[in-house]
C-alpha cells in the first residue's frame, strides 16, 4: 500500500534521524542520481554526454537537486544549474562548483537552454514551501513553461520532480499557481498527499518513494493507494463448498430504452465476478443483456447487493420510480448498494456507509447542489477531496469520485486514491463498467460490509483498481471501447489474485 503523510509528519519523523547524524540528504541525492541516470539511459541510450538542467530553490529541496546534478556531472553528464530562489544551500553550491557546474541567473537564455536538455530536475521547492510559487521560483517555472512551448513535443526534456512538483499543495493536492508537470516524482521517505490527490496528482507523473528509514508509525495516513497485493487481500476466492448464492448475488437496475448499452456493460463487468447477476429493466434492455449474457437472471428477488442507475437519466421518471423502490428496500435491509448516474437523484436523505455513490465531478456538484450547496463542476475539480468529504458528511454514504485519479472515502475511513487506468479509459460507458465492478466487490463481501460498513470504501477502491488495470490490459497502449474493458475484467482479477 502506498501511504501518503503530511509535510509536518515527515519533518517530525526526519528530526530524530538528523539529530543522530543520519545522512538523509545523501540517501535522497543517491536515489535521485540513480533515477535520473536510468531515465537518461532510457531516453538517450547512455548517460555520458547527455544533458540535465537543475532548477535550484533556496532550501534543502534545491540542495537535493543540485547535489544530484553534481553527481551526474561526475558521471559525464553536461549539467546546467539555474537559480530559482533567493539563495543556494552552501554545501550544495560548493559541490556543484567542484564539478565545474556554474549557477546561472534565471534569464531567458538559460531557460531556453534548459528547455533543450534531456532531463530537467525540479528542485525549486519541496515540503518546506508555503503556498503556490512566488518570487524567483515562480519566474523560473513560468519562464521555463514558455520556453518549452518553443520546443517540439518529442524533443522536450523529461521532467523529474524532487520530492514534489514545486508549487503544488503538498498536503491538499491543490494547484493554485503555475507548476512544471513532471514525468516522474522521486519523493523522499514517504508519499505526500499532493502526489495522490488531484489535481496536483495529475502533475506528478510516476511516483517513486525513496526509503529514508523514517519511523512514521505514529503519523496518521493522509491518503492511501491500494497496490496489487492489497486488492488481492480484499477480494475473496471461492472455496470448494461455495455455490452461486454463497458467492454473492448482485441485483442490477440499469439501462433504459435510450441507453440500453449501459446495462449490458455493467452486467458484463459484474457477471464473471459474482455468483449470479439478477437484472431488472425494460423488456428491450433485458433482451440486450440476455443476448450478451444468457447467465443473467431476469426478475426481482433476493440479492446480497444492488447496483442501481447506469443508463438511467435524471429525468427518466418511470425508471427512477423502480430505482427508488429497490434502493429504499436495500437501505431498509442494510444491504450494500451502488448508486450511479440518474439514481443519485433519488438517493434517500441519509444512508449508511454500505451505500456507495459513484459520481463524476459534475454529478457530485449536482448532488451537493441538491443539498443546498452552491457548487459547480469546476469547484469539484479544483478541490475534489474537500467536496467528496462534504458529500460524505451530508449523505452518510461512501463516495467514489471517479476521474483520472479516483478518490474514495466513507464516514471516518481513510481516503483512497486509485490511478490504475490509462488516459484511453476516457470513453463512453467506462463508468458503467466501473459501477458493475464496484457492485460485484460489494456483493461478494456483503456479509462483511453489513457487519462493518466502513469496509465499503476499501472495496470500492479495490474495484476501481481492478477497473483501471482492466483498461490498461485491454488498451495495451492504444484505443479501447468500454466493452473491451468489461471483457478484460475477469482476466485482470485472475492476474491480481495469481501474482
Ligand atoms: N532535512 C533533510 O535532511 C532532508 C530534506 N529533504 C529535502 O528537503 C526538502 C525540504 O527542505 P526545506 O525544509 O529546506 O524546504 P524547501 O521545500 O526546500 O523550500 C524552502 C525554501 O523555499 C522558499 N520558498 C518557500 N515557499 C516558497 C514559495 N511558495 N515559492 C517559492 N519559494 C518558496 C523559501 O526560501 P526563500 O523564499 O526564503 O528564498 C524557503 O526557505 C524536502 O522537500 C526534500 O526535498 C529530503 O532530501 C530528506 C532529507
Ligand atoms: K520540487
Q: Are residues 245 and 172 located together in one domain of the fold?
A: no
Please return the burial class of 376, using the count of CB atoms within 10 Å of its CB with bins 0-12, 13-18 and 19+.
Answer: middle
Contacts of 10 (CB under 8 A, 6+ apart): 127, 188, 189, 190, 192, 214, 216, 219
Q: Identify residues whose C-beta is under 5 A from ligand 2, the ion.
A: 61, 122, 162, 166
Confidence at residue 416, expressed as pLDDT on a 0 to 100 scale: 98
Kindly give the number of the ligand 1 atom that is closest to the alpha carbon of 136. Answer: 31
Count CB atoms within 10 A of the CB of residue 314: 15
Predicted pLDDT at 187: 98
340, 295: one domain: yes
Q: How far apart are CA 299 and CA 295, in angstroms?
A: 13
- Residue of the CA atom closest to atom 24 of ligand 1: 129
Same domain, 258 and 180: no
For residue 124, report the distance from its CA to the centre of ligand 1, in Å: 8
> How many other C-beta atoms lie within 10 A of the C-beta of residue 350?
11
CB 120 within 8 A of CB 180: yes
Secondary structure (3-state) at 253: strand
Binding residue per annotation — 439?
Answer: no
Query: Any binding-site annotation on 404?
Result: yes
Ligand 1 pocket, mutate which of 5, 59, 122 (most atoms under 8 A from CB): 59
Last-in-domain residue among 225, 242, 260? 225
Give the β-pairing of 223-225 and 249-253: unpaired
Whether residues 78 and 100 share a domain: the answer is yes
Beta carbon of 85 within 6 Å of any ligand 1 atom: yes
Ligand 1 in contact with 396 (CB < 6 A)? no
| Residue 25 Cβ contacting ligand 1 at under 6 Å | yes
Instruction: Please give the span between the terminal C-alpha atoms of the chain, in angstroms, as a whole number.
Output: 16
Exposed/middle/buried for residue 363 (C-beta within 10 Å: 0-12, 13-18, 19+): buried
Dist CA 114 CA 51 (whole Å): 9
Residue 188 Cβ inside 6 Å of ligand 1? The answer reads yes
The CATH number of the domain holding residue 48 is: 3.40.50.10260
Same structural domain, 350 and 261 = yes
Last residue of a domain, one of 173, 202, 225: 225
What's the domain range around 467?
228-498
Q: Quick check: 103 and 82 in contact, CB under 8 A?
A: yes
Judgement on whether residues 179 and 320 belong to the same structural domain of the protein: no
Q: Report whether 122 belongs to an annotated binding site.
A: yes
Q: Considering 199, 225, 251, which residue would you say is the last residue of a domain?
A: 225
Q: Can you spell out the DSSP letters for 176-205?
A: -S-----SEEEEESSB-HHHHSTTGGGGS-
Residue 135 annotated in ligand binding: no
pLDDT of residue 168: 98
> Sheet holding 206-210: strands in order across?
103-104, 78-83, 51-56, 119-123, 158-162, 184-188, 206-210
Considering the domain architecture, whether residues 201 and 272 belong to the same structural domain is answered as no
Is residue 52 a contact partner of residue 78, using CB atoms and an 8 Å limit?
A: yes
- Reading the block at residue 62, the C-alpha cell is 534545491
Asked whether this complex has an ipTM greater than 0.90, the answer is yes
CA dihedral 189, 191, 192, 194 (to 10 degrees): 150
Same domain flag for 468 and 323: yes
> Which pLDDT tens digits describe the chain residue by residue (499 residues)?
999 999 999 999 999 999 999 999 999 999 999 999 999 999 999 999 999 999 999 999 999 999 999 999 999 999 999 999 999 999 999 999 999 999 999 999 999 999 999 999 999 999 999 999 999 999 999 999 999 999 999 999 999 999 999 999 999 999 999 999 999 999 999 999 999 999 999 999 999 999 999 999 999 999 999 999 999 999 999 999 999 999 999 999 999 999 999 999 999 999 999 999 999 999 999 999 999 999 999 999 999 999 999 999 999 999 999 999 999 999 999 999 999 999 999 999 999 999 999 999 999 999 999 999 999 999 999 999 999 999 999 999 999 999 999 999 999 999 999 999 999 999 999 999 999 999 999 999 999 999 999 999 999 999 999 999 999 999 999 999 999 999 999 999 999 999 6
Instruction: Give residue 91 CA to ligand 2 midpoint distance, Å.
Output: 18
The Cα–Cα gap between 133 and 141 comes to 9
What single string gives the DSSP state of each residue in 76-104? T-EEEEEE-SS---HHHHHHHHHTTPPEE
Q: In sequence order, what are the beta bridge partners of 225?
A: 2
Question: Based on the domain organization, do 213 and 269 belong to the same domain?
Answer: no
Q: Say how many domains are in the chain.
A: 2
Q: Determine if ligand 1 sits within 6 Å of the CB of residue 122.
A: no
pLDDT for res 29: 98
**Domain shared by 149 and 274, yes or no:** no
* Residue 189 and residue 176 share a domain: yes
Q: Which residues share a beta bridge with 158?
A: 119
CATH number of the structural domain spanning residue 322: 3.40.1190.20
Contact 121, 68 (CB under 8 A): yes
- Closest atom of ligand 1 to 87 CA is 39
Same domain? 221 vs 245 = no
Q: Give the burial class of 117: count Cβ atoms within 10 A of its Cβ; 0-12 exposed, 13-18 middle, 19 or more buried.
A: buried
Residue 301 DSSP code: -
Which residue lies with its CA nearest to atom 39 of ligand 1? 86
Amino acid at each position: 500500500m502506498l501511504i501518503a503523510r503530511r509535510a509536518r509528519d515527515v519533518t517530525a519523523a526526519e528530526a530524530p534521524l538528523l539529530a543522530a547524524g543520519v545522512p538523509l540528504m545523501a540517501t535522497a541525492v543517491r536515489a535521485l542520481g540513480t533515477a535520473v541516470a536510468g531515465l537518461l539511459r532510457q531516453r538517450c541510450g547512455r548517460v555520458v554526454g547527455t544533458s540535465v538542467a537543475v532548477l535550484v530553490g533556496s532550501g534543502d529541496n534545491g540542495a537535493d537537486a543540485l547535489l544530484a546534478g553534481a553527481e551526474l556531472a561526475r558521471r559525464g553528464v553536461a549539467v546546467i544549474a539555474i537559480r530559482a530562489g533567493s539563495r543556494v544551500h552552501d554545501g550544495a553550491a560548493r559541490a556543484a562548483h567542484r564539478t565545474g557546474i556554474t549557477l546561472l541567473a534565471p534569464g531567458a537564455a538559460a531557460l531556453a537552454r534548459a528547455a533543450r536538455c534531456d532531463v530537467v530536475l525540479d528542485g525549486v521547492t519541496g515540503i518546506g514551501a508555503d503556498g503556490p510559487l512566488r518570487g524567483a521560483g515562480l519566474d523560473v517555472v513560468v519562464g521555463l513553461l514558455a520556453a518549452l512551448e518553443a520546443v517540439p513535443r518529442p524533443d522536450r526534456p523529461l521532467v523529474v520532480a524532487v520530492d514534489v512538483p514545486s508549487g503544488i499543495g503538498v498536503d491538499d493536492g491543490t494547484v493554485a499557481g503555475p507548476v512544471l508537470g513532471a514525468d516522474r516524482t522521486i519523493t523522499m521517505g514517504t508519499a505526500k498527499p499532493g502526489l495522490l490527490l488531484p489535481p496536483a496528482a495529475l502533475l506528478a507523473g510516476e511516483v517513486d518513494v525513496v526509503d529514508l528509514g523514517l519511523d512514521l508509525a505514529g503519523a496518521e495516513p493522509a491518503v492511501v493507494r491500494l497496490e496489487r497485493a492489497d486488492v488481492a487481500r480484499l477480494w475473496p476466492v471461492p472455496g470448494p463448498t461455495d455455490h452461486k448464492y454463497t458467492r454473492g448475488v448482485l441485483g442490477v437496475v440499469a439501462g433504459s430504452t435510450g441507453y440500453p448499452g449501459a446495462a449490458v456493460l455493467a452486467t458484463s463487468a459484474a457477471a464473471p465476478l459474482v455468483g449470479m447477476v439478477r437484472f431488472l429493466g425494460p423488456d428491450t434492455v433485458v433482451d440486450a443483456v440476455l443476448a450478451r449474457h444468457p447467465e443473467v437472471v431476469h426478475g426481482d428477488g433476493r440479492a446480497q447487493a444492488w447496483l442501481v442507475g447506469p443508463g438511467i437519466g435524471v429525468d427518466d421518471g418511470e425508471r427512477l420510480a423502480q430505482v427508488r423502490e429497490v434502493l429504499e428496500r436495500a437501505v431498509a435491509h442494510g444491504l450494500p448498494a451502488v448508486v450511479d448516474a440518474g439514481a443519485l437523484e433519488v438517493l434517500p436523505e441519509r444512508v449508511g456507509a454500505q451505500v456507495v455513490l459513484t459520481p463524476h465531478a459534475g454529478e457530485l456538484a449536482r448532488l451537493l447542489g441538491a443539498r443546498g450547496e452552491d457548487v459547480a463542476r469546476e469547484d469539484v475539480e479544483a478541490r475534489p477531496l474537500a467536496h467528496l468529504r462534504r458529500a460524505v458528511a451530508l449523505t452518510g454514504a461512501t463516495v467514489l469520485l471517479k476521474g483520472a485519479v479516483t478518490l474514495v472515502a466513507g464516514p471516518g475511513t481513510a481516503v483512497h486514491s486509485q490511478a490504475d487506468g490509462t488516459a484511453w479509459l476516457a470513453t463512453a460507458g467506462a463508468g458503467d463498467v466501473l459501477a458493475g465492478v464496484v457492485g460485484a466487490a460489494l456483493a461478494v463481501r456483503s456479509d462483511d460490509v453489513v457487519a462493518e460498513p466502513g469496509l465499503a470504501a476499501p472495496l470500492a477502491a479495490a474495484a476501481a483498481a481492478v477497473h483501471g488495470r482492466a483498461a490498461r490490459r485491454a488498451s495495451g497502449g492504444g484505443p479501447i471501447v468500454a466493452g473491451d474493458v468489461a471483457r478484460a475484467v475477469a482476466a485482470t482479477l485472475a492476474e491480481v489474485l495469481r501474482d
